[in-house]
């Protein structure tokens, strides 16, 4: 099923190649072998972060584009003496881009919620006005209503409403916390995973009221930020993240007898100068 599919775009391998490349360059320096010095400059860190993030998110991450763009800008300016005349405008422009992204995303979520509510109201009105139905028609109508709800919650427009603080009935979660804090509680009984990105910000995600069957994948990317996950105690949580100068803490009390082997939450991603905390109540 769809919710059991694991995302194969894992940046862990890309990150491994980057670490391998850095090691090779340092070795070449020790051996006095010539290579471009800019390959070990600090803007390359931003470029590497951007590449890893874009690969993990299938090249659909604003944060990845922002990191890659800033890295290229500083690299060309500092190492190749390109004068773009934007030294005093880089930071405010970056803030404007992030602000436009957050406003646009919020408007999309509101529109998706409005469209979904209109469909629910139209469906309820149609059912109420049907005064002459046979028993078979009534059964068909009941099944149709159930099918409508299932199809509606599977639509990307509905699943996209999970990016802001508050309560969400979406089946999947997609949160980008950039220089901000977001608290989210998921109430779906058909949780399908998703992705969390915290950059210079924090995310608190409460999954204690959620449920699913099978295996779902939650992609987490933390860069100078933190993510806190609260999960039901009987879920089988498996953490497969790459952490660099970061802390990954599983604070759940281990009770093997209570673990449901049919509910596997696989957490994958990268934690870079940040923290990931998993708790249960």
Region 193-210 average pLDDT: 90
The angle, 0 to 180 degrees and rounded to 10, between the axes of the packed helices 62-79 and 43-56 is 160
Structure tokens that stand for 183 in this block:
């608290």
What is the chain's mean pLDDT, rounded?
Answer: 76
174 in Cβ contact with 160 (< 8 Å): yes
The pLDDT assigned to 277 comes to 93
DSSP 89: T
* Domains of the chain, residue spans: 2-96
The pLDDT assigned to 140 comes to 45
Q: Which residues contact 155 (CB under 8 A, 6 or more apart)?
A: none
Token look-up 């469906």 returns: 123
108 vs 186: CA distance, rounded Å? 19
The dihedral through the CA atoms of 102, 108, 114, 117 has a sign that is negative
123 vs 71: CA distance, rounded Å? 51
Does the pLDDT at position 151 exceed 50? Answer: no
Does the pLDDT at position 1 exceed 90? Answer: no
Q: Which residues of 209-230 are buried (b: 16+ CB within 10 A; e: fewer)?
A: ebebeebbbbbbbbbebbbbbb
The pLDDT assigned to 109 comes to 62
Does the pLDDT at position 61 exceed 70? Answer: yes
Residue 91, burial from CB neighbour count under 10 angstroms (0-12, 13-18, 19+)? exposed
User: Taking the complete model, does pTM exceed 0.75, yes or no?
Assistant: no
Q: When comparing pLDDT for 2 and 131, which is higher?
A: 131
Q: How many CA atoms lie within 13 A of 230 on its CB side?
A: 12
Structure tokens that stand for 197 in this block:
């990105």
Does the pLDDT at position 274 exceed 90? Answer: no
Does the pLDDT at position 149 exceed 50? Answer: no
Q: What is the pLDDT of residues 25-37, one digit of tens each?
A: 888 888 888 878 7
- Under DSSP, is residue 117 helix (H, G, I), strand (E, B) or coil? helix
The pLDDT assigned to 115 comes to 67
The pLDDT assigned to 106 comes to 63
Q: What is the pLDDT of residues 232-268, one digit of tens each?
A: 988 999 998 887 777 888 888 766 657 888 899 999 8
Q: What is the pLDDT of residues 214-223, one digit of tens each?
A: 999 998 988 8
Tell me the residue length of the chain: 281
Residue 209 phi, psi dihedral angles, 5° rounding: -100, 5
Question: Percent of the chain, pLDDT > 90?
Answer: 19
Does the pLDDT at position 230 exceed 90? Answer: yes
């Amino acid at each position: 099923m769809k919710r059991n599919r694991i995302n194969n775009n894992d940046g862990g391998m890309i990150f491994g190649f980057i670490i391998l490349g850095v090691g090779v360059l340092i070795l070449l320096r020790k051996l006095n072998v010539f290579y471009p010095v800019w390959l070990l400059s600090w803007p390359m860190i931003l470029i590497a972060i951007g590449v890893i993030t874009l690969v993990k998110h299938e090249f659909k991450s604003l944060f990845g584009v922002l990191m890659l763009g800033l890295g290229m800008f500083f690299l060309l300016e500092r190492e190749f003496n390109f004068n773009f005349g934007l030294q005093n405008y880089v930071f405010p422009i970056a803030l404007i881009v992030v602000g436009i992204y957050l406003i646009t995303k919020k408007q999309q979520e509101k529109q998706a919620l409005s469209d979904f509510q209109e469909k629910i109201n139209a469906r309820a009105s149609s059912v109420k006005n049907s005064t002459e139905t046979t028993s078979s028609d009534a059964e068909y109508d009941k099944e149709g209503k159930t099918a409508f709800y299932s199809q509606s919650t599977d639509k990307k427009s509905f699943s996209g409403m999970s990016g802001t603080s508050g309560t969400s009935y979406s089946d999947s979660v997609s949160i980008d916390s950039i220089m901000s804090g977001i608290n989210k509680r998921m109430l779906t009984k058909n949780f399908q995973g998703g992705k969390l990105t915290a950059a210079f910000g924090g995310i608190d995600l409460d999954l204690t009221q959620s449920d699913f069957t099978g295996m779902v994948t939650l992609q987490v990317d933390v860069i100078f930020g933190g993510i806190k996950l609260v999960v039901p105690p009987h879920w089988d949580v498996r953490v497969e993240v790459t952490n660099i100068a970061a802390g990954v803490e599983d604070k759940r009390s281990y009770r093997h007898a209570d673990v449901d082997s049919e509910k596997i939450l696989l957490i994958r991603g990268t934690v870079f100068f940040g923290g990931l905390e998993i708790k249960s109540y």
